[in-house]
A and B are shown apart, each in its own frame.
Chain A
Amino acid sequence: MTDTMTSALPFNDAIPGAVLETTPNGLVVAAEKLPELARHLRDQQGYDYLAMVTSVDWPQYLEVVYYLCGVAQPKPGLVLKVRLSDKANPVVPSVIDIWPGADFQEREVYDMMGIRFEGHPNLRRILLWEGFAGWPLRKDYRESYYEEDTKPLKSRHPDGSHLWAEDRVPWKDNVTYPVGVDPDLWVSPQVQYRRIMGVDQGGNGSSLNTERVLVNMGPQHPSTHGVFRMVLAIEGENVVGLEPEMGYLHRCHEKIGERNTYLMNIPFTDRLDYISSMSNNLGYVLAVEKLMGLQVPERADYIRVIMAEFTRIVSHFIAVGFLFNDLGAYFTPALYGVRERELILDLFEAASGSRMMCNYMRFGGVSADLPEGWIKRARETVWDRLPRVLGDFETLLSGNEIFLARAKGVGHLSAQDAVAYSMAGPMLRASGVPYDLRKAAPYSIYDRFDFDVCSRPEGDVWARFRVRMDEIYQSLRILKQALDGIPEGPILAGKKQYQMRVPAGEAYSRIEGPKGELGFFVVSDGKANPYRYHVRAPTFINLTSLEKMCIGHKIADSVVILGAIDIVLGEVDR
């Protein structure tokens, strides 16, 4: 490499030798220079938001991928890649000091790919259990019942008839254990929560002689919204430390996604955030369409926007209702929210054939046209019913004194922290950062609609409630415009097909899902199945700031703060 070529590389003046190469899909960075470059990018270049960290197992090297963008001053994304050719002992410096939002994402990469992040204070497995052997997302990892690298599996259809693999393969026949491991002798490793117990700091630092108690909230707990566990260190009623433990619903979505064909993954995305399957469909098809370069017919675009906004309303109704459940309102607001959800699910059912697992979007369009009379029903919902119900919600909930006393000033997160922790969606906007991907980086046809970005400066639980309520009004505005403007025409580009030709390359699509930035990172090597398929789950990353928000509050508040994040475990654990 000559000197002239080196100086042409970006950021070479500031950090010499940091960027090794420019590729169409991002900058290749030297591992040891990464923290220096990251600090420069954050402080001087305005890349204050780490959108995603993931990794790809290429034949020659492991690659860690960082997606950066600017939130304070919106900037187009920048992709950094670190290539590690030592597959036996891959080490990268951690960027957790620069972007605290990298915390869980780096742990996930370590968990799935075995890449160690030097300087990470709590590098443990996050989705899998302590003691799990192997790195599942490596290409050489073979799960139980492994047959082939990719689906459709030939064994399922011998001579054209159908046979389940589980019937054919006796249990455990191809479950392999590492050398020297006897599952009967295995003892679960003890996880020592030294950090939150204050052991490392030498006691609780107060002259009052109190004792810290660890309380496991979950995985079987009524207000963790599923199988989520918060390890709380408490002194009396006060929370002094918190550590989220997740992965109870982990099914290695991404590994299964690599085995599936591109089309098979669409219904699979329904199972991520099962409250808002339409949005998940949309995010995934947009990513693959980016790779394929498909143009979507206008009618299909309108239908997608209508479905996505209805999904946002459903998700926010559930979020607001169950937030009150966490506050102890005994299911009443939750059931009022669920009632509206059911009526919207009727619309989904009429269009897609399913209420929750819609499986509606396709590459280049949607799977079926809207049935007769659908628009009329949708108009009644949007113009008459939902505004009336929202009025009820406002009168019954928004002014409740107990709610205000419980929600205001609780779980505060400043704008700087929210950006640093890679918060997304209503969580980010409730901290006073008016960042909405529908405006900041419009996708589909969102640039055609007139709506406002809802934001609140308070950064507490009340602001998160308020932002969600306001977003329902804005969704209704978009729905009105979309239902008025929907044209006639085809709903799918080309004709329906089972097997897609997806050219080699990689694509990251970001959409503003109901719970935040929902990203799908798809790498194709030109074959029928994705080479790498990663989901940037907004609620998983939003949980990073849970400890920061909870410390100093009461036990009761930690439940409410968790409720205001609005997690769905299908997405957190993937």
Chain B
Amino acid sequence: MDYIRDFFINFAHSWTTWISGGLPGWAVTVVNFLLGGLILVMMPVIATLALTWMERKVIGRIQNRLGPNRVGPWGIFQAIADAVKMLIKEDIIPDRADRPVFNLAPILIFVGAAMLWAVIPFGRRMIGQDLNIGALYVVAIGSITTVAVLMAGWASNNKFALIGAFRVVAQLLSYEIPMVLSIGVVVLVVGSMRMGTIVESQWVPFCLVLPVAFITYVLAAIAETGRAPFDLLEADSEIVAGYFVEYSGLKFGWFYIAEYGNLMAVSAITTTLFLGGWRGPFAGAAPVLGPLYFIIKTVLVIFVLMWIRGTLPRFRIDQMLAFAWKVLVPAALVNLLWVAAALKLPVPQAVQYAVMLVGNLAILGVTLTLLGQSAKQHAKRHGLAGA
């Protein structure tokens, strides 16, 4: 029973004990690291297979359709069929493309998506590498995407791809700042960048304490993953597919995998930072429940992102950059300031949290009021009725 209660950790211990019987110490380490790396690298692929099916089902329901229902029960093998199709497609490299860069971009973008998984805690002590700079690592690795996308857009020798790449640079750089600022708030409260510690110190999920940081992070994360309503980098109705318009076959597949891998990673990080990670009822007594809670929370976040995608139209580039610089960045900065001040109060932690919550709600209220007023003024300036 005890074995079952913390199944994953105990299983790992048994495995290590078993292979230690025949191998020297350094070889055990090498084997274990390779195995762990393999599992983490597989995560984006698994995410793609699961999430494409889920996305098509969810959006199908939103759109009064059934979604895939031909390949296997409830169409669950649709993703496999799509993967096979993608594998056997012709790999086309456009004339006058910058070949080395063109070929390198899909690899790089996949590497970025896979490396994010190293610091995500699936459960207590279930983490690839609990770096003491985990949160910083997430931000740093997230920036690799920008480089890869710019490479893809430039090397394709295609105007749509280039416009997509321009947009990516503008968008990702702008949204990196509110994202870092909202992660900074969490780090400040916890006092550590270690992802494991961040989860363990959330006796109340931070989304209830720091709603502004939570909302800012989710918005910035949607923009970072390039999903609706911020999917300008691959806006299908404007620039066809943006930076990966010239990719086909498996290379396109890498972009696809990276997109869904990023989606899942971002949802997992949201869960870790703001939703209490693997914490939940009885997770302390039975750590085997941890990964279950973690997956449920992550899927919930993903569902919300899919819901947004299925229902909202897209922003325009100037509106979206204005939103980042004029709304998100100031709100996140004020929030950071308030939280830093609240932490200095000589009161118990619960009171500090209450102070933070009050401040957050005030920031939220002021931001929304200002937004509404500016929309009204804009309408008045342009002599538009309604609004």
B317 at interface (Cβ–Cβ under 8 A)? yes
Given contacts A402-B315, A555-B239, A557-B316, contact A332 B62 (CB under 8 A): yes
* Proximity string of chain B (157-169) to chain A, C-beta cutoff 8 Å, 1 when within and 0 when not: 0011001001100
Apart from the given pairs A326-B237, A328-B237, A331-B63, 18 other A-B contacts in the complex at a CB distance below 8 Å: A215-B159, A215-B163, A223-B237, A234-B163, A237-B163, A237-B167, A328-B231, A330-B309, A400-B313, A402-B312, A404-B386, A405-B375, A406-B315, A408-B384, A458-B385, A555-B163, A556-B238, A557-B316
Give the contacts of A372-430 with B (CB-CB under 8 A): 396, 400-406, 408-409
A221 at interface (Cβ–Cβ under 8 A)? yes
Q: Which residues of A contact B312 (CB under 8 A)?
A: 329, 400, 402
Cα-based distance from A403 to B63 in the complex (angstroms) = 18
Q: Which residues of B contact A72 (CB under 8 A)?
A: none
Cα-based distance from A554 to B311 in the complex (angstroms) = 23
Whether B317 lies near A554 (C-beta < 8 A) is yes
Please, which residue of chain B has its CB at the minimum distance from the CB of A563?
A: B237
Whether A328 lies near B317 (C-beta < 8 A) is no
Whether B237 lies near A559 (C-beta < 8 A) is yes
Given contacts A336-B64, A555-B238, contact A402 B382 (CB under 8 A): no
Whether A335 lies near B231 (C-beta < 8 A) is no
* Proximity string of chain A (438-469) to chain B, C-beta cutoff 8 Å, 1 when within and 0 when not: 00000000000000000001101010000000
Give the residue among B160, B237, B239, B312 with the most A Cβ atoms within 10 A: B237
Whether A328 lies near B384 (C-beta < 8 A) is no
Q: Which residues of B contact A236 (CB under 8 A)?
A: 166
How many contacting A-B pairs (Cβ < 8 A)? 100
Q: Which residue of B228, B231, B238, B313 contacts A223 across the interface (Cβ within 8 Å)? A: B238
B82 at interface (Cβ–Cβ under 8 A)? no
Q: Which residues of A contact B65 (CB under 8 A)?
A: 335
Q: What are 19 residue pairs bridging A and B, where the CB atoms are less than 8 Å apart in the complex? A: A237-B163, A237-B167, A324-B313, A328-B236, A328-B313, A330-B228, A330-B309, A335-B64, A396-B311, A401-B375, A404-B386, A406-B316, A408-B379, A408-B386, A408-B387, A457-B385, A556-B235, A556-B316, A559-B238
* Proximity string of chain A (336-360) to chain B, C-beta cutoff 8 Å, 1 when within and 0 when not: 1001000000000000000000000
B68 at interface (Cβ–Cβ under 8 A)? no
Q: Which residue of B64, B159, B314, B382 contacts A328 across the interface (Cβ within 8 Å)? A: B314
Whether A329 lies near B384 (C-beta < 8 A) is no
Cα-based distance from A554 to B319 in the complex (angstroms) = 11
Whether A328 lies near B160 (C-beta < 8 A) is no
Q: Which residue of B63, B229, B237 contacts A335 across the interface (Cβ within 8 Å)? A: B63
Q: Which residue of A328, A339, A402, A408 contacts B235 across the interface (Cβ within 8 Å)? A: A328
Given contacts A213-B159, A458-B384, contact A332 B316 (CB under 8 A): no
Given contacts A400-B312, A408-B384, A409-B384, contact A330 B59 (CB under 8 A): yes
Cα-based distance from A336 to B309 in the complex (angstroms) = 16
Give the residue among B63, B235, B240, B375 with the most A Cβ atoms within 10 A: B63
A539 at interface (Cβ–Cβ under 8 A)? no
Chain B proximity of A322: nearest CB distance (Å): 10
Cα-based distance from A408 to B385 in the complex (angstroms) = 10
Q: Which residues of A contact B382 (CB under 8 A)?
A: 408-409
Cα-based distance from A54 to B108 in the complex (angstroms) = 58
* Proximity string of chain B (317-331) to chain A, C-beta cutoff 8 Å, 1 when within and 0 when not: 111000000000000
Cα-based distance from A330 to B309 in the complex (angstroms) = 7
Whether A404 lies near B387 (C-beta < 8 A) is yes
B contacts with A: majority SS: helix
Q: Which residues of B contact A409 (CB under 8 A)?
A: 382, 384
Chain B proximity of A446: nearest CB distance (Å): 29
A222 at interface (Cβ–Cβ under 8 A)? yes
Given contacts A329-B312, A332-B311, A556-B317, contact A221 B240 (CB under 8 A): yes
B37 at interface (Cβ–Cβ under 8 A)? no
Q: Which residues of B contact A327 (CB under 8 A)?
A: 237, 313-314
Give the contacts of B282-312 with A (CB-CB under 8 A): 309-312
Cα-based distance from A339 to B386 in the complex (angstroms) = 29
Give the contact-size bracket for chain A. 35 or more
Chain B proximity of A206: nearest CB distance (Å): 18
Please, which residue of chain B has its CB at the minimum distance from the CB of A238?
A: B318
A325 at interface (Cβ–Cβ under 8 A)? yes
Please, which residue of chain B has its CB at the minimum distance from the CB of A236?
A: B166
Please, which residue of chain A has its CB at the minimum distance from the CB of B237?
A: A223
Give the contacts of A547-574 with B (CB-CB under 8 A): 554-557, 559
Given contacts A222-B240, A409-B382, contact A328 B228 (CB under 8 A): yes
Cα-based distance from A223 to B239 in the complex (angstroms) = 9
Whether B240 lies near A328 (C-beta < 8 A) is no
Q: Which residues of B contact A405 (CB under 8 A)?
A: 315-316, 319, 375
Cα-based distance from A395 to B89 in the complex (angstroms) = 43
Chain B proximity of A500: nearest CB distance (Å): 45
Give the contacts of B360-385 with A (CB-CB under 8 A): 375, 379, 382, 384-385
Give the contacts of B214-241 with A (CB-CB under 8 A): 228-229, 231-232, 235-240
Given contacts A215-B159, A222-B240, contact A329 B317 (CB under 8 A): no
Cα-based distance from A324 to B368 in the complex (angstroms) = 25
Cα-based distance from A234 to B159 in the complex (angstroms) = 11
Cα-based distance from A332 to B236 in the complex (angstroms) = 15
Cα-based distance from A403 to B313 in the complex (angstroms) = 7
Q: Which residue of B160, B235, B379, B386 contacts A215 across the interface (Cβ within 8 Å)? A: B160
Chain B proximity of A337: nearest CB distance (Å): 11
Chain B proximity of A279: nearest CB distance (Å): 27
Please, which residue of chain B has its CB at the minimum distance from the CB of A234?
A: B163
Chain A proximity of B110: nearest CB distance (Å): 25
Cα-based distance from A222 to B239 in the complex (angstroms) = 9
Cα-based distance from A404 to B315 in the complex (angstroms) = 11
Please, which residue of chain A has its CB at the minimum distance from the CB of B170?
A: A237
Whether A402 lies near B159 (C-beta < 8 A) is no
Q: Which residues of B contact A325 (CB under 8 A)?
A: 237
Cα-based distance from A171 to B240 in the complex (angstroms) = 38
Cα-based distance from A328 to B132 in the complex (angstroms) = 41
Q: Which residues of A contact B160 (CB under 8 A)?
A: 215
Chain B proximity of A405: nearest CB distance (Å): 6
Give the residue among A215, A336, A339, A556 with the most B Cβ atoms within 10 A: A556
Q: Which residues of A contact B240 (CB under 8 A)?
A: 221-222
Please, which residue of chain A has its CB at the minimum distance from the CB of B318?
A: A554
Please, which residue of chain A has its CB at the minimum distance from the CB of B229?
A: A402
Q: Which residue of B64, B159, B310, B316 contacts A330 across the interface (Cβ within 8 Å)? A: B310
Cα-based distance from A221 to B237 in the complex (angstroms) = 8
Q: What are the 9 A-B residue pairs with the smallest beta carbon separation, nearest first?
A: A328-B314, A327-B313, A223-B237, A329-B313, A335-B63, A556-B316, A409-B382, A556-B238, A402-B313
Cα-based distance from A515 to B377 in the complex (angstroms) = 34
Please, which residue of chain A has its CB at the minimum distance from the CB of B309?
A: A330
* Proximity string of chain A (203-220) to chain B, C-beta cutoff 8 Å, 1 when within and 0 when not: 000000000010100000
Cα-based distance from A329 to B59 in the complex (angstroms) = 11
Cα-based distance from A223 to B232 in the complex (angstroms) = 15
Chain B proximity of A217: nearest CB distance (Å): 9
Q: Which residues of B contact A408 (CB under 8 A)?
A: 379, 382, 384, 386-387
* Proximity string of chain B (73-94) to chain A, C-beta cutoff 8 Å, 1 when within and 0 when not: 0000000000000000000000
Cα-based distance from A462 to B387 in the complex (angstroms) = 11
Given contacts A222-B236, A406-B316, A556-B317, contact A332 B310 (CB under 8 A): yes
Cα-based distance from A241 to B367 in the complex (angstroms) = 38
Cα-based distance from A328 to B312 in the complex (angstroms) = 8
Give the contacts of A523-557 with B (CB-CB under 8 A): 554-557
Chain A proximity of B308: nearest CB distance (Å): 10
Please, which residue of chain B has its CB at the minimum distance from the CB of A214?
A: B159
Q: Which residues of B contact A223 (CB under 8 A)?
A: 237-238
Please, which residue of chain B has its CB at the minimum distance from the CB of A412?
A: B382
Cα-based distance from A434 to B239 in the complex (angstroms) = 36
Cα-based distance from A339 to B65 in the complex (angstroms) = 10
Q: Which residues of B contact A331 (CB under 8 A)?
A: 63
Chain B proximity of A282: nearest CB distance (Å): 31
Whether A329 lies near B238 (C-beta < 8 A) is no
Cα-based distance from A556 to B159 in the complex (angstroms) = 15
